[in-house]
Chains A and B, each alone.
Chain A
Amino acid sequence: MRHPFVPAVKLIDFLQGKWLGHPLHAAIVHLPLGLWIGSCGFDFAAVLGWSPEVFARLGVFCVGLGLLAALPVIITGLADWSSIKREKPAWKLGVAHMTLNLIATLTFGLNFGLRLEQLDEADPITTPILLSSSAGTVLLFISGYLGSLMSFDHGIGVARGSKDKWRKIAAAGGSNLAEEK
């Protein structure tokens, strides 16, 4: 049984985290999100004159590693979104979440360039660096909130990996079950 779409389906399954048991996107999103928001906090600490040279280096690592991690996060997020039905409210939420995240990623890309240029200067965190990391952080707060609505309000990815386990439990408890596909 060779079907032309089998490799594509396998790839989507992998990206959605079928092998892990939960959505892969939610597991790796901590890195860019936490690191980029952290970098903004560290910029403020540096500007306030609190070990600016250490915080500037920490900021470079935060934004740089966040950019590296962003690529798999974007791909796995797209894979999750691709199985949401168009008529569901979560589909539009996904589009807004994705758009804001792309802008935030570009913002931190720009921010990273500014950081590298300024790293060995006396004032490593300039106003453009502070402003761009702050703007990126505001974007992440909004898009992160939309992402959490997708999980916790619309249940995207919830029981995707555990539905067979729950089906057995529901059957043993005398409940009617979904029709088998």
Chain B
Amino acid sequence: MSAAKHILEGRPFKSPLHAALVHIPIALLSLGFLLDAVSWTVRLETWQLPRVAAYAIAFGIAMAVVAALPGLVDYTTIRKDSSAKKIAMLHMILNVTSLALFALSLGLRFDSLDAARTPLGALVASGIAFGVLSYSGYLGGSLVYEEGIGVGRHRRTTPLPTETVVVRSREGENRVLVGLASELSEGGTLRVNASGTLVTIARVDGRLAAFQEYCTHRYAPLSEGCLKDGEVVCPWHNSRFNVRTGAVVQGPAKVNLRTFTVEEHDGNIWLDVPPTPPKAASATPSTARSGQRR
């Protein structure tokens, strides 16, 4: 990983740089619209509100461009088939739209900076731009707090899976060919959809291990977890599990992971995936169940 990408992902700060930088443009652009609105409701003849608002908006746009760069880098770290990818794309499109409208609002007030009121067209433009920005900011919040993008990413030092490997077993067989063993290096993971069962295959201490994709606490993607000392660390809340037995080593998770048999043969990865009973969803305490499954 290049040093620039390392910093743009915010790894030295244990948190994404994009999330730290967006405070300033969001605050200044919101203030810009607010001052435009105030200029229509309160008479402050000598305050040159259209001009003061223009400064807030201009610096807001400049800082938004700075914040966009690490945002683009974050986008590239999201798995292609993740539900977050579409949200991130919409977030980006709406941000660009909002900035264009704020820039338009600047242009529309250019010859009335000393007026008492922001011209109506400029007010409407900054109002719509603020609305778009608010919704886009909400989507940014969804990316972090619903989808977990960037959460715990700094602990993982190997590349994240870029997509899910989809494999299907033949009728009556549990064993599936996943891919080439050489594609999985130490500390790396594959995210596998084997006939509908989601499995993480990891290489830990040279050997392969396979366990369920979702953490048993709040269902974070364990294929994005950090692997060390024979354990997988959940990216969201730091639960730790033994990769061979699936046992909880450290909470907050309380339920063990389901594990699967995985083998390396002639340079290929073979995974055993027993069919998931349709009622697996109504979880009974699963320590016993995960024992049976193994």
- A contact residues vs B (CB 8 Å cutoff): 20-23, 26-27, 29-35, 37-38, 41-42, 51, 54-55, 57-58, 61-62, 65-66, 144-145, 148-149, 151-155, 157-163, 165-180
Contact = CB atoms under 8 A, between A and B. Distances in A.
Interface stretch (B9-17, B93-101, B168-176, B177-185): B9-17
A155 B146 contact: no
A173 B283 contact: no
Contact of B254 (A23, A33, A158, A178): A178
Given A37-B24, A153-B14, A159 B146 contact: yes
Contacts of A152: 10, 14-16, 19, 144, 150-154
Given A61-B52, A159-B218, A176 B145 contact: no
A55 B59 CA distance: 11
Interface centre among B144, B146, B153 (most CB of A within 10 A): B146
Give the contact-size bracket for chain B.
35 or more
Given A62-B31, A148-B13, A166-B214, 18 more contacts: A21-B146, A22-B142, A23-B141, A27-B137, A30-B23, A31-B27, A33-B23, A42-B59, A54-B51, A58-B55, A58-B56, A148-B20, A155-B148, A158-B144, A160-B218, A166-B220, A168-B281, A176-B256
Interface centre among A57, A155, A180 (most CB of B within 10 A): A155
Interface centre among A21, A33, A57 (most CB of B within 10 A): A57
B35 A34 contact: no
Interface string B171-212: 000000000000000000000010011100000000000001
Interface of B: 10, 13-16, 19-20, 22-28, 30-31, 34-35, 47-48, 51-52, 55-56, 59, 137-138, 141-142, 144-148, 150-154, 193, 196-198, 212-214, 216-220, 236-238, 253-258, 276, 280-281, 283, 285-286, 289-290
A172 B196 contact: yes
Contact of A171 (B34, B55, B280): B280
Interface centre among B14, B51, B214, B217 (most CB of A within 10 A): B214
A26 B144 CA distance: 10
B33 to A, nearest CB: 12
